[in-house]
Homo-oligomer: A and B are copies of this chain.
Amino acid sequence: MRRPQVVPDASLPTSVTVYEVGPRDGLQNEDAVVPAAVKVELVRRLLDAGLPVVEATSLVHPRWVPQLADAEEVLGLLVDGLGDRARDLPVLVPNARGLDRALDLGLRHVAVFASATETFARRNLNTGLDEQWAMFEPVVSRALDAGMRVRGYVSMCFGDPWEGAVPLPQVVTAVRRLVDLGVWEVSLGDTIGVGTPGHVVRLLDSLNVAGVPDSVLALHAHDTYGQALANVLAALRHGVSTFDASAGGLGGCPYAESATGNLATEDLVWMLDGLGIATGVSLEPLVATSVWLGERLGKPSPSRVVRALSGVSV
């Protein structure tokens, strides 16, 4: 299998955490509804490929995201297969009801999903920004009281399909609120993929000034306009060392037909491998997993690495 030559860059971190979102963020944006057994196999294969964190599913109302309506079944099967450590896999909880379900299941790691913009809060959560925070505050504090690890997502950090440009102070306020609530990490979402490297640097600078260091931040880049890896490189150089990605680029962008959404984990790992940055992830089983899942979804992966490596002799 072809691999990049390893040439480190001394100005970059020596290791990175790849936070895999394919089974949750990827599958919730695919048209196909995947059987629970395939989801469980996907999580298992991703863990076997060395991914240190795999977000397993979302405890969202089945009417909102029918693709993940089997969350309890998937989590049950994961506990059957992996044992108690399956309860450390992060799971999205959109609201108090989702947290109740997570507590019932004995989960130890949840994520909440906030919006940086009023319009997206209304579209996604059916609340305004003020109500969003009123809702999250007790959810996060109950989760923390139960000893859970809580991650916060902020969506639309670099642009919003309805509002257009998103002012930096608005993003800083949202991130700051999550940090103040006690989350251990905030993932900055370029939900529509419009961000460019200078924008990433400016946002990180603004967050640092507001007392949020790179060490509690992750970048969730989308590849809709092909900018994801350049944005990752800019964030890496700034000091961020956690990056969200989706195996095979799972999860099309819901706002632009035929466009791609999530950064493919394989494309990210190729770059990090070439830079000599340790991730623990093995590209070969990861690519094989995306090829296998593509067959089940009936569509090939949009990942450049998956396409290139599965087109030549592997």
Contact = CB atoms under 8 A, between A and B. Distances in A.
Interface of A: 2-5, 7-9, 12, 158-159, 161, 165, 192-199, 201-202, 223-227, 229-230, 232-234, 253, 255-260, 264, 267, 270-271, 273-276, 300, 303-305, 307-308, 310-312
Given A7-B202, A196-B275, A198-B276, A304 B260 contact: yes
A45 to B, nearest CB: 21
B308 A196 contact: no
Contacts of A274: 194-199, 227
By secondary structure, the A interface counts as loop
A225 B195 contact: no
Contacts of A161: 2
A231 B287 CA distance: 22
A275 B7 contact: no
Nearest to A233: B230
Contacts of A300: 258
A257 B201 CA distance: 36
A227 to B, nearest CB: 6
B311 A258 contact: yes
Contacts of A270: 196, 225-227
Nearest to A193: B308
A257 B198 contact: no
Nearest to A310: B258
| Total copies of the chain | 2
B159 A5 contact: yes
B199 A312 contact: no
Given A7-B196, A225-B270, 20 more contacts: A2-B161, A4-B199, A5-B159, A5-B199, A9-B198, A195-B274, A196-B270, A197-B271, A198-B276, A223-B304, A224-B304, A225-B308, A226-B305, A227-B229, A230-B230, A230-B232, A233-B234, A253-B308, A258-B310, A260-B304
A192 B193 CA distance: 26
B196 A271 contact: yes
Contacts of A232: 230
A230 B270 CA distance: 12
Closest 5 CB pairs of A and B: A196-B274, A226-B304, A226-B267, A9-B198, A259-B308
Nearest to A196: B274
Point out which of A12, A201, A259 has the most chain B C-beta atoms below 10 A from its C-beta. A259
A156 to B, nearest CB: 12
Nearest to A237: B237
B229 A8 contact: no
Nearest to A277: B198
Contacts of A198: 7-9, 12, 274-276
Contacts of A5: 158-159, 165, 194-196, 199
